[in-house]
């Protein structure tokens, strides 16, 4: 477990779902954690006082003080909801390259990249393809890549929370592709524990961090509905026409809980054997049932 003697840790995306939870956990343990945020002058976002904030508006504005003397940098920042692809590429791809270059120049010993199970050779979504491309920039000898499953937690604004809100508010829920896609989940605290372990143990290489058992997407949505006390009608819907409709909606800039990016990612989901990676990290991934019980209680 990381402690105050472990040395400073810098975290990008420190106000996002995973980044915020990780920053607060490290601060609770007495670690010198440096929250890298787009606007350090914005209202204080954390539950506990005393967390130092540093500007990180990728790719151009990276406060060098955040990296000075840091033992590791954890790169959680990533633009996933966007209307301008050029802007997304600039922030995600150019931004990650700039951050990696500056961390190397500052002598940061370990770069930890929060990736996704969406990152693989058959990926069709921009998210999956770009994550895979950026994974290849890292050193297998010093850096760690953590490919997470669907991250579940009580608070946040991630994909799980949009799924939760959709189930909570909709009377009819489409099961794209019949809802047969395999999906593996990870509780946000278990993912944070994996990141901590990678730093504490000085681990390098690629790790997939998710519950070993894969569910079908339709089963996961039904489990969410049951815990919310909802009884929506689930309707199978083929992916190709759904993609066409979503692209029209996006072209008209109409807000919608599901994007074509989400659907492309859904289409290419695949299960992974995570048991060995979890053992190497020394962490337990709680079951989907346990994660949902915690996230949706009350």
8 Å CB contact between 193 and 21: no
Using the predicted structure, report yes or no on whether residue 1 has a pLDDT greater than 90: no
Query: Is CATH 3.40.50.300 the classification given to domain 4-151+185-211+272-285?
Result: no
- The pLDDT, as a whole number, for residue 253 is 86
- The pLDDT, as a whole number, for residue 258 is 80
> For tokens 């896609």, what's the residue?
181
Q: What is the 3-state secondary structure (H, E, C) of the chain?
A: CCCHHHCCEEEECCCCHHHHHHHHHHHHCCCCEEEEECCCCCCCCCCCCCCEEEEEECCCEECHHHCCCCCEEEECCCCCCCCCHHHHHHHHHHHHHHHHHHHHHCCCCEEEEEEECCCCCCCCCHHHHHHHHHHCCCCCCCCEEEEECEEECCCCCCHHHHHHHHHHHCCEEEEEHHHCCEECEEEHHHHHHHHHHHHHCCCCEEEEECCCCCEEHHHHHHHHHHHHCCCCEEEEECHHHHHHHHHHHHHCCCCCCCCHHHHHHHHCCCCCCCHHHHHHHCCCCCCHHHHHHHHHCC
Q: Are strands 72-75 and 9-12 parallel, antiparallel or unpaired?
A: parallel
Using the predicted structure, report yes or no on whether residue 286 has a pLDDT greater than 80: yes
pLDDT tens string 253-271: 888 778 888 899 999 999 9
Q: What is the 3-state secondary structure (H, E, C) of 6-69?
A: HCCEEEECCCCHHHHHHHHHHHHCCCCEEEEECCCCCCCCCCCCCCEEEEEECCCEECHHHCCC
- The pLDDT, as a whole number, for residue 284 is 96
Using the predicted structure, report yes or no on whether residue 285 has a pLDDT greater than 60: yes
Rounded to whole angstroms, the Cα distance separating 189 from 20 reads 11
How many CB atoms lie under 10 A from the CB of residue 287? 15
8 Å CB contact between 4 and 66: no
pLDDT tens string 53-76: 999 999 999 999 999 999 999 999
pLDDT tens string 86-95: 999 999 999 9
Phi, psi of 71, rounded to the nearest 5 degrees:
-75, -40
Average pLDDT for 175-186: 96
> For tokens 């919310």, what's the residue?
228
- The pLDDT, as a whole number, for residue 78 is 95
Q: Where are the domains of the chain?
A: 4-151+185-211+272-285
Using the predicted structure, report yes or no on whether residue 213 has a pLDDT greater than 70: yes
- The pLDDT, as a whole number, for residue 5 is 57
Mean pLDDT of all residues belonging to the chain: 94
8 Å CB contact between 288 and 185: yes
pLDDT tens string 97-130: 999 999 999 999 999 999 999 999 999 999 999 9
Reported as a pLDDT band with limits 50, 70 and 90, residue 80 is: confident
Average pLDDT for 26-55: 96
- The pLDDT, as a whole number, for residue 98 is 98
Structure tokens at 121: 């050779």
- The pLDDT, as a whole number, for residue 82 is 75
- The pLDDT, as a whole number, for residue 177 is 94
- The pLDDT, as a whole number, for residue 4 is 55
Rounded to whole angstroms, the Cα distance separating 36 from 74 reads 10
Rounded to whole angstroms, the Cα distance separating 281 from 298 reads 32
Rounded to whole angstroms, the Cα distance separating 250 from 93 reads 23
- The pLDDT, as a whole number, for residue 14 is 98
């Amino acid at each position: 477990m990381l402690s105050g003697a472990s040395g400073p840790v810098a975290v990008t995306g420190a106000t996002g779902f995973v980044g915020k939870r990780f920053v607060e956990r490290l601060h609770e343990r007495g670690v010198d954690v440096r929250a890298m945020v787009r606007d350090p002058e914005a209202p204080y976002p954390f539950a506990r006082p005393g967390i130092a904030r540093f500007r990180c508006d990728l790719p151009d504005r990276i406060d060098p003080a955040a990296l000075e003397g840091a033992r590791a940098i954890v790169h959680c920042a990533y633009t996933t909801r966007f209307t301008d692809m050029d802007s997304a590429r600039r922030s995600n791809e150019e931004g990650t390259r700039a951050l990696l270059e500056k961390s190397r120049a500052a002598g940061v010993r370990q770069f930890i990249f929060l990736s996704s199970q969406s990152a693989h050779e058959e990926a069709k979504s921009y998210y999956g393809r770009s994550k895979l491309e950026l994974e290849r920039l890292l050193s297998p000898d010093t850096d760690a890549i953590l490919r997470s499953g669907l991250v579940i937690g009580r608070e946040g604004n991630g994909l799980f929370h949009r799924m939760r809100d959709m189930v909570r508010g909709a009377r009819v829920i489409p099961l794209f592709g019949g809802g047969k896609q395999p999906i593996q989940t990870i509780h946000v605290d278990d993912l944070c524990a994996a990141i901590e372990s990678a730093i504490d143990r000085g681990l390098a290489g690629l790790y997939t961090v998710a519950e070993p058992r894969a569910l079908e997407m339709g089963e996961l949505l039904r489990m969410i509905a049951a815990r919310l006390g909802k009884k929506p009608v689930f309707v199978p819907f083929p992916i190709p026409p759904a993609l066409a409709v979503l692209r029209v909606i996006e072209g008209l800039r109409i807000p919608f809980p599901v994007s074509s990016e989400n659907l492309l990612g859904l289409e290419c989901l695949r299960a992974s054997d995570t048991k060995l990676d979890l053992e190497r990290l020394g962490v337990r991934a709680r079951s989907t049932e346990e994660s949902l019980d915690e996230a949706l209680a009350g």
